A and B are shown apart, each in its own frame.
Chain A
Amino acid sequence: MTTGLVLLVIVAGAYLAAHSASEWLATRFLIVSGAEYLLLGVLLGPEVSGVIQASTVDGFAPFLTLAFGWVGALVGAQFHFRDLVRIPGEHFRIAWTESALVLGIATGITAALGVWWLGITWREMAVPAVAVGAITVSSAPTGIAVVSRRLSARGFLVRQLQITPAIDALVAIVAFGLVLAVAHEPPGTALRPPTPTEWAVITLAIGVASGVLFHLFVAGERKVDRLFVALSGALILSSGAAAYLRLSPLLPALLMGFVLVNTSPARDELREVLSRVERPLYFVLLIFAGAALRVEWSGWLLVASAFVLMRILVKVGSAAAAGRVHLALPALGIRWGWGLVGHGGLAVAIALNYRLFDSGELAGLVFAAAILSVLVTDVLSGWVVRGLVVSAPEPAAKTLAQEKK
């Protein structure tokens, strides 16, 4: 049998098994995650069974690049201004504060550890530190989505838990995209290598130009099938351009999704198109992220565990601080940050993007830590959110009644 066929059979079989199991677990035990696919990738990868070889992961790099772009566009498509202005500003203030605190603290801690413990210069630590910061910031929205659907829960806390992961995603992608641009190495072919500022502008320009051009390209088009062809082309093009320039495809795609959803009359159709292949691409992303895991240093588990612990502390602490600063703790509760501890697909996308960008040992360690964090936290996120919502200081029903008044 060819490797491709073996791979296909195993992946397809395992996917179906994992899919059936995860559905059962989600229905019965509120365990919602993509962690099972990640684990599947680890088991199939070179570190365990070797079914997926390193060369196979490299061969799938274009698909992974496309998956990054798709994830970015999905995040960008959440920010529709007309919908956002209906949400009280207090939620955004809390979310922005939480995100900024987490990014700053996690980046600072990582940079300081790198400099003082590993003896790396501040300049060299910039990219790994911001990558860790971005990974730390991102939160999985799946737990809250399932719990709010299952309990029909609404209220201040639930809404806050719905908004914060979106802001977290925005902050994470922008921070990661910009640091890759600023720290860009000069290409060998250009007459004058662009400056860091110019690389940042190029990153933003790819996203904005793609969004504007694609808006003009499909103006008036409402048929989902036609939009699917054109949007696929545009996302492949912009993601390919970013990857070709060794920039993150996440940020340009986020900007493209943002521009489109705010300018196109067919925003619902565009969202439908984006969600059509979200699952298959997400599935590929998680499996190959798991397979890309390399253990090059024996102490990795210790460091990765420390990262998981640090992330939980920073998340919960920053959320509590944000709630206190904006006087929202009576409604949210001091523990509301636990609802943001679940780590999902975006973290995997950022970590894998960073791993493909940098093949060094430190990048491998950051990637391994992110994988462990997703495996540990994503599985229990549904339970944690449920516990928070049930014991919320301001019960969902009461909040709903107040909102109606």
Chain B
Amino acid sequence: MRRLAILIVLFGGMQLVLPLGTQGQGSQTLLSFGFLILGAYTVGEIAAGIGLPKIVGYLLSGILFGPHLLGAVTEAGAARLSPISELAVAIIAFLAGAELRWAEVRERGGVLGKIMTAELVASFVAIAGFVYLARGWIPPAADIPAIEALAFAMLFASVAIVHSPAVTMALLTETGAKGPVARTTLGVVLLADVAVVLLFSAVLTFARMLAPPPGPVVGPSLLLVLWEIGGALVIGAAMGAAVAAYLRFVGKEMVLFGVLAAFFGLEVAKLAHVELLLMLLMAGFVAENISEHGEKLRHAMERSAAPIFVVFFALSGAKIELAEVGPLLPLVIPIAVMRGLAMWGGVKAGARWAGMQADDSRYVWMGLVSQAGVAIGLAAILAEAYPGRGPYLAGMLLALIAVNETVGPILFRRALDRSGEAVGSSPAGEVVPGGEPQKASP
């Protein structure tokens, strides 16, 4: 409460300062950025105090202090801060890739692949079916032919099944969890990240055949998507090798080098039109696995990760428009529930198919619910591809993402607590003071 009171004083102070200043040199952006960090830190601590993940607090602070509520961060300010958000995504992706071990991929790749396949298929079918059957309640789909409704339902589902590597990494960093639930969730999320981009492109192509959009065709072609993925893997691997060479021959200034590498990756991905997340995942994976010193870089980047997560999720929250999300909630909440149920069923079926122990897979579905950046990007492509009905569907998807972005971290935190993998928690989910981190599963 003390921090909240200080935050209120700071907010008042900012209101006093604003009429005295002048724009220029990005100083107002800096002012609001500093306030957003302190606000997110405070709300994150409050969230942790009531047993919620900190990133939920960061998101809520973004909503609260963002342009749509209190306005401490203006829309223009949030736009000026977007490079920081992009850099955060790049660092998170690199860290996520560095978490994967080649031995683990070789040993558990089949298991992860089966769980992912079952979960994605179950979620896709359930959401597409639900949206198709409930099309009477969705204004732009209410009076269209059944075949077009099916195309839109499939497009909607192909975005709705996307997970969030950023939320997964943030929770794993926050809790220090390294057990079977944590490793399986991370593996499935990272694999699915590749699969959903391919699936979305295939569905978009198929949807264009069933329901051709008016005017010129906008959106990625299948060839472009293949390049986005294949190119990302190749360039990412090359970048990972370069990082490994740096670690071997120079090995200094790790924090600075990590940030520069992420920034470099960001620029290269834009230039080569490849999938940023995948490219940096691959770079992190290769650097960590071919270098003996990869851990040094990972630790240096992890040490700098806390402010990155604060910034990334606070800015994500600032982009959520409550006025637009609110009216869509009655439509979206049943879809979110259906999605959760399908994930639970899909993971259960996949684990059985892979012969995984029930105890290890029981909580994995809870880690898959979160959604963030990738899903938002695909929703934007959908809106662009179908200028007529697309924006409404994209609005629905953004509302669904907002729900999953808020509920998902809470569920994943609960899963890690219940499985006893979060540092300081017992398997029953009770907090153990001074608990030690769990050992990584093989």
Contact = CB atoms under 8 A, between A and B. Distances in A.
A65 B27 contact: yes
A265 interface: no
B217 interface: no
Given A62-B26, A283-B256, A233 B20 contact: no
Contacts of A9: 264
Interface in B298-354: 303, 306-307, 310
Contact of A62 (B25, B36, B37, B252): B25
Interface in B252-267: 252-253, 255-256, 259-260, 263-264, 267
Interface residues of B, number: 46
Given A2-B271, A58-B25, A217-B6, A236 B37 contact: yes
B264 A235 contact: no
A61 B26 contact: yes
B260 A240 contact: no
Interface string B1-41: 01100100110011001111110011111111111111001
A302 interface: no
Contact of A228 (B26, B33, B307): B307
Q: Is the interface of A mostly helix, strand, loop or mixed?
A: helix
B270 A225 contact: no
Nearest to A199: B20
Nearest to A3: B267
A280 B35 CA distance: 23
B268 interface: yes
B206 to A, nearest CB: 35
Contacts of A245: 17, 20-21
A237 B35 contact: yes
A164 interface: no
B76 interface: no
Which interface residue of A225, A233, A356 has the most chain B CB atoms within 10 A? A233
Q: Is the interface of B mostly helix, strand, loop or mixed?
A: helix
A61 B267 contact: no
A401 interface: no
B25 A213 contact: no
B250 interface: yes
A8 interface: yes
Contacts of B13: 209, 241
A232 interface: yes
A276 B253 CA distance: 11
A194 B19 CA distance: 12
B264 A240 contact: no
Contact of B30 (A2, A209, A240): A240
A233 B10 CA distance: 12
Contacts of B2: 216-217, 219
A243 B267 contact: no
Contact of B260 (A2, A4, A8, A65): A8
A8 B271 contact: no
Contacts of A58: 25
A103 B150 CA distance: 78
Contacts of A230: 37-38, 41
Contacts of B41: 226, 229-230, 233
Contacts of A188: 22
Contacts of B28: 240, 244
Given A187-B20, A241-B17, A65 B38 contact: no
A213 to B, nearest CB: 5
Which interface residue of B2, B21, B36, B41 has the most chain A CB atoms within 10 A? B21
A8 B30 CA distance: 23
B267 A236 contact: no
A12 B239 CA distance: 15
Nearest to B270: A2
A162 interface: no
Contacts of A209: 13
Contacts of A65: 25-27, 30
Contact of A187 (B9, B22, B250): B22
Interface in A238-294: 238-241, 243-246, 276-277, 279-280, 283
B30 A189 contact: no
A244 B34 contact: no
A5 B9 contact: no
Contacts of B18: 244
B256 A240 contact: no
A85 interface: no
Nearest to B45: A226
Interface string A190-230: 10001000000010000001000100110100000110111
Nearest to A215: B6
A328 to B, nearest CB: 40
Given A61-B26, A245-B20, A246-B22, A276 B34 contact: no
A62 B263 CA distance: 17
A66 B31 CA distance: 10
* The 4 A-B residue pairs with the shortest CB-CB distance in the complex, in nearest-first order: A237-B34, A240-B30, A233-B37, A236-B34
Interface of A: 1-2, 4-5, 8-9, 12, 16, 19-20, 58, 61-62, 65-66, 187-190, 194, 202, 209, 213, 216-217, 219, 225-226, 228-230, 232-241, 243-246, 276-277, 279-280, 283, 356
Given A20-B250, A233-B37, 19 more contacts: A5-B271, A58-B25, A65-B25, A65-B30, A217-B38, A226-B306, A228-B307, A229-B306, A235-B34, A237-B10, A237-B38, A240-B31, A240-B33, A240-B34, A241-B17, A243-B30, A244-B27, A245-B17, A280-B256
30 contacts: A1-B271, A2-B267, A4-B267, A61-B26, A62-B27, A187-B20, A187-B22, A188-B22, A202-B20, A216-B2, A228-B306, A229-B41, A230-B37, A233-B36, A233-B37, A234-B34, A235-B34, A236-B37, A237-B31, A237-B35, A240-B27, A240-B31, A241-B17, A244-B22, A244-B27, A244-B28, A279-B256, A280-B255, A280-B256, A283-B256
